[in-house]
Amino acid sequence: MATRLPQSTYNALIRRSIDLRRLYRHAAAACEPGLRMVLDENAQTLDLLIADLQAQLRAGGAKPYQRGSWRGSARRYAAGWLVHAAARRENTWIRALAHHESALLHAFEQAIAGLPAESALALRRQLPRLRSIHLDMGSLAGSARC
């Protein structure tokens, strides 16, 4: 990419995406096989998103983050504890994942709005992936309320 990418913005989004991917995998391990398949697919979508953003930074000469944040680890631990205490564990996982996924989508949209058009292009390309996950989780969250 010819333009210099805003490394801190991209790395913050990469880190949040890694945190969410780890939460998806943690939830998938605790859910029934049908839901596990959906959660694993969403984690794989996040794998692609993360790899693309990391490649964009590398191509621009920057060093992308490879790990999530300590806050993400704390959130994953807290979510696991809350789910363990809940009566309807899979519904609780779905609501937690939908909340964090929505926050990630919002963070991407805010970053796009705050960057010059050339720098935001790679982020804009990721929106269909995030919106696909958003639709999955919205559908699951809607049915989990029943």
pLDDT attached to residue 83:
62
78-132 pLDDT tens trace: 666 566 655 567 788 888 899 899 999 999 999 999 998 888 888 999 999 999 9
- Which secondary-structure segment (H or E) carries 25? helix 7-30
Given a contact cutoff of 8 angstroms between Cβ atoms, the answer to whether 130 and 104 are in contact is: yes
Q: Confidence band (pLDDT; 50, 70, 90) for 25? A: very high
User: How does DSSP assign 81-129, residue by residue?
Assistant: HHHHH-SSHHHHHHHHHHHHHHHHHHHHHHHHHHS-HHHHHHHHHHHHH
C-alpha–C-alpha distance, residues 54 and 128, integer Å: 18
Q: Confidence band (pLDDT; 50, 70, 90) for 43? A: very high
In a domain, 27, yes or no: yes
In a domain, 2, yes or no: no
In a domain, 1, yes or no: no
Domain count, the chain: 1
In a domain, 133, yes or no: yes
Q: Give the range of the structural domain holding residue 34, as residue numbers without chain letter.
A: 7-144
C-alpha–C-alpha distance, residues 27 and 97, integer Å: 8
C-alpha dist (Å) from residue 66 to 2, 8, 12:
23, 13, 11
In a domain, 20, yes or no: yes
